[in-house]
């Protein structure tokens, strides 16, 4: 055969794309035969990966292949084994059928076909969930909860491996707070004069890249965390960039500094590590397979998101409701919650996602409640429209709930729903849920509520509903 040098295996995403490929490659002579083959066999999978030297297309200046390569360069595409015959002559086909090699080849091809059919069924039975949202919204914490709830949690070895990250969170927290004392307007002095030497130690020695966390580091950190000046600086953390877990870990220094310390699940959930790239977590719930994709949320990470858009069952968009009085790390002029709203709008209106529904996780409800109750940062100072907002009739209010907290959380919800309803076309929907990603019971309840929604999306995806 002409294509005997072809290498093995993948799949194409659609019949139409393969036929379009034929046109772009100027392989019009085989387009008719492939069309017939694909219509007869409903072939969605490709059995052989073939190397093409792409023809230069003068009309469009070079079309992209599925892997992003341009025409005029070598690229790898998938071709059905049974369609390979279109490259040979009728006489060669007849002679090949009589050879033992061809019969052996056919048996292998049939075995591959059978396995690919099983893989196809498994692929179509899998729910693929894409986690999107701005940086530090809680996406990775949601993934950790899925491991705790639906996999085997974290092994002792994995817990031990998190110790360095937790210690780094403590160092970053105390470095940031003590560094902000002199930069705030007005500056905040230390309560105790003797703590000045401790601040100097933290700023001069603990900031080094090879810092190894000696006992005196924990001693200085514990004493500084008791200083009223340091605590006052922490209370103004919305004016500078501080990780959410700062207070949690600074309160636990006496435990974490012990030589036999092993992180518990809450420590792992709270631990902040910057997500860069794309991470997949697989789990099963009631014999249903889920693949959850976590991607970095910072602006420079978002260009990678498009790699995950194909065959997505649903998008879980995570927003940090408590960020209404904070600015982005990468852009100090942009309010974090407004950035999240704008990001949600761009995803909702993205032409590649017009049929994908969005499950909205209104996250960090615990921190939102703390800020609203404290009254130091009013939501209306950052969103003037909150002044005229009234708690909606569909609000669920439980005994003991603070009315102002309820009004704030539903205001944020309705800001997102206003975007989804303004451009809604009936092809996708937004399903909001109030979440606290570090609360395992809350995430368990919310995800159980979402499973029916995800199942309906999955059936609609394959036109079974």
CA distance 245 to 309: 31
Total number of domains constituting the chain:
3
258 lies in the same domain as 278: no
366 appears as a binding residue in the annotation: yes
Find the catalytic residue in 298, 334, 391, 455: 298
18 lies in the same domain as 82: yes
61 lies in the same domain as 171: no
Find the catalytic residue in 44, 244, 294, 415: 294
Average pLDDT score over residue span 260-287: 90
Is the pLDDT confidence value at 454 over 90? no
The residue range of the domain holding 71 is 10-123
302 appears as a binding residue in the annotation: no
Domain of 347: which CATH number?
A: 3.40.50.300
37 lies in the same domain as 62: yes
Q: φ, ψ for residue 54 (rounded to 5)?
A: -65, 140
Least confident of 22-31, 187-196, 400-409: 22-31
Find the catalytic residue in 128, 252, 272, 413: 272
Q: Is 141 a catalytic residue?
A: yes
Q: Mark which of 202, 235, 262 sits at the end of a domain.
A: 262
Find the catalytic residue in 71, 136, 244, 415: 136
Domain of 169: which CATH number?
A: 1.10.400.10
Q: Is 161 a catalytic residue?
A: no
- Is residue 366 within 8 A of residue 436, CB to CB? The reply is yes
65 lies in the same domain as 171: no
272 appears as a binding residue in the annotation: yes
Highest mean pLDDT among 42-51, 284-293, 298-307: 284-293
Output the pTM of the full model: 0.73
- Return the axis-axis angle of helices 195-204 and 163-180, rounded to nearest 10°: 120
Is the pLDDT confidence value at 99 over 90? no
Q: Is 294 a catalytic residue?
A: yes
Q: What is the pLDDT of residue 69?
A: 41
294 appears as a binding residue in the annotation: yes
Report the percent of the chain where pLDDT is more than 90.
Answer: 54
461 appears as a binding residue in the annotation: no
Q: Which tokens belong to 424? A: 């809604």
User: Which tens digit of pLDDT belongs to each residue from 309-342?
Assistant: 678 888 999 999 999 999 998 899 999 999 999 9
Average pLDDT score over residue span 380-402: 95
Q: What percentage of the chain's residues is helix, strand, coil (to nearest 5)?
A: 50, 15, 35
């Amino acid at each position: 055969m002409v294509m005997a040098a072809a290498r093995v295996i993948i799949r194409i995403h659609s019949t139409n794309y393969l036929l379009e490929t034929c046109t772009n490659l100027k392989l019009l002579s085989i387009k008719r035969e492939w069309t017939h083959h694909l219509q007869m066999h409903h072939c969605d999978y490709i059995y052989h990966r073939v190397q093409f030297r792409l023809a230069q297309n003068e009309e469009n200046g070079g079309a992209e292949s599925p892997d992003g390569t341009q025409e005029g360069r070598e690229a790898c595409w998938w071709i059905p084994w049974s369609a390979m015959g279109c490259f040979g002559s009728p006489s060669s086909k007849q002679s090949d059928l009589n050879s033992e090699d061809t019969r052996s080849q056919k048996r292998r091809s049939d075995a591959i076909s059978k396995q690919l059919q099983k893989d196809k069924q498994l692929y179509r039975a899998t729910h693929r969930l894409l986690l999107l949202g701005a940086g530090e919204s809680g996406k990775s914490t949601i993934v950790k909860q899925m491991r705790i709830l639906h996999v085997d949690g974290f092994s002792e070895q994995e817990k031990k491996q998190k110790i360095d990250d937790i210690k780094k969170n403590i160092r970053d927290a105390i470095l940031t707070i003590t560094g902000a004392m002199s930069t705030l307007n007005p500056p905040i002095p230390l309560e105790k004069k003797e703590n000045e030497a401790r601040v100097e130690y933290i700023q001069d020695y603990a900031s080094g890249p090879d810092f190894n966390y000696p006992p005196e580091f924990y001693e200085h950190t514990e004493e500084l965390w008791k200083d009223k000046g340091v605590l006052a600086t922490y209370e103004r953390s919305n004016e500078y960039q501080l990780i959410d877990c700062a207070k949690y870990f600074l309160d636990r220094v006496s435990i974490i500094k012990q030589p036999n310390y092993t992180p518990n699940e809450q420590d792992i959930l709270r631990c902040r590590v910057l997500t860069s790239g794309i991470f997949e977590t697989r789990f099963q719930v009631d014999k249903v397979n889920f693949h959850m994709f976590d991607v970095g949320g910072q602006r420079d990470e978002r260009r990678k998101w498009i790699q995950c858009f194909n065959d997505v069952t649903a998008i879980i968009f995570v927003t940090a409701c408590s960020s209404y009085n904070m600015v982005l790390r990468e852009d100090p002029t942009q309010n974090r919650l407004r950035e999240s709203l704008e990001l949600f709008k761009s995803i909702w209106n993205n032409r590649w996602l017009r049929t994908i529904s969005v499950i909205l996780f209104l996250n960090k409800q615990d921190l939102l409640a703390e800020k609203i109750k404290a009254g130091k940062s009013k939501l209306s100072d950052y969103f003037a429209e909150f002044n005229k907002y009234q708690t909606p009739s569909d609000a669920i209010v439980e005994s003991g709930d603070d009315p102002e907290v309820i009004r704030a959380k539903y205001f944020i919800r309705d800001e997102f729903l206003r975007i989804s309803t303004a451009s809604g076309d009936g092809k996708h929907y937004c399903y909001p849920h109030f979440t606290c990603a570090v609360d395992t019971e809350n995430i368990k309840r919310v995800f159980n509520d979402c499973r029916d929604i995800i199942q309906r999306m999955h059936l609609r995806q394959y036109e079974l509903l």
